[in-house]
Amino acid sequence: MNADCARVLAEEYFNGGRDRSVEVAVHAFEGGYVAWARDEEPADPSVLPGTVGGGCIVIDRITGEVAVRPLLGPELVAAEWPGRTPG
């Protein structure tokens, strides 16, 4: 799995079935890629987000498997990635 393929997979994951696409960010690390949807910044910072909580995905560099993780900083998610988990 290379960075370009990971981006395509992440964009399909986050934008599949949406009326309007969102920007997807990808962070590469040794074991794979962390990807998440970037929310638009509201014009009024006092407005609550449309979605509370969220997740990111980790794409395994070797297998291409996708795992959903809590939305934390990408470096933290990458640091906690144990590699391929038994299915």
pLDDT at position 87, please? 45
- pLDDT class for 21, splitting at 50, 70, 90? confident
In a domain, 85, yes or no: no
- Whether the per-residue pLDDT at 8 is higher than 70: the answer is yes
The three-class DSSP label of residue 5 is helix
- The count of domains in the chain is 1
Which residue range(s) make up the domain with 36? Answer: 3-46+54-80
pLDDT at position 18, please? 76
77 Cβ contact list (under 8 Å, min separation 6): 34, 56, 58, 69, 70
46 Cβ contact list (under 8 Å, min separation 6): none
pLDDT at position 48, please? 66
What percent of the chain is modeled with pLDDT above 70? Answer: 86
In a domain, 87, yes or no: no
- Whether the per-residue pLDDT at 86 is higher than 50: the answer is no
